[in-house]
Structure 1
């Protein structure tokens, strides 16, 4: 590391507050991917997120408008920008602002030898107020597990 602040010391590197939940889904990766990117159908299965976009908009740089409901803030409009797509294994979007909180949300789909899919749903938080989220990370992890369970129910319900 280099001296970036003129003190002669190495800069302090802090890890962004992160939430991760892992869910096993009894379906192939391609089936999970189809549901994950069917943004216009999120309201049918996702507990708090409703998006206004079609699967063909799953391209880097696309802005996906939507609404988040529930929690202390009630309903709030959101805009998510897709920053990485590696179909059918990885989708990453960002939302928010570095002036407050910017969330970088990633979905990684990993095929398992038994034909199931492991979904790793993670979000890193950046910005001026990101540290304020640290006390709530355990609660967020439970929420993300709930989202994974809802995705699993949707995918498995479609294939079974």
Structure 2
């Protein structure tokens, strides 16, 4: 499958996921094995009403979706994947009112597993909101 076809599949995949639509996720960029996805600030996603901070679960969903898309964009990976393992380290709260952008890179693909690193950032690009590492399925077609 050529890269343009993979790009279209990723856009359609994210657009078709009910949770991605509910979170307002949009693809920012796609390159082979690397995807950026943005989540706008939304008061419905606040986890700390006193500070206006976005809930960690929304950040987790953003990073998982972006990571899966990075696997799908990798030249050696399939058009579809599923999360096997995702470890997220929350570094700090995102600034209220700011969009959060996740960038995920699929850095290694084996016969059955793809490995991903990701970061989520708000406007302060030097201090990530969260980092993640994950493993995703690779299903080869016969």
TM range (shorter): 0.3 to 0.5
Work out which structure has the larger RCO, using CA pairs closer than 8 Å and 6 or more positions apart in sequence: 1
User: Which structure would you say has the larger Rg?
Assistant: 1
Output the TM-score relative to the length of structure 1.
0.33
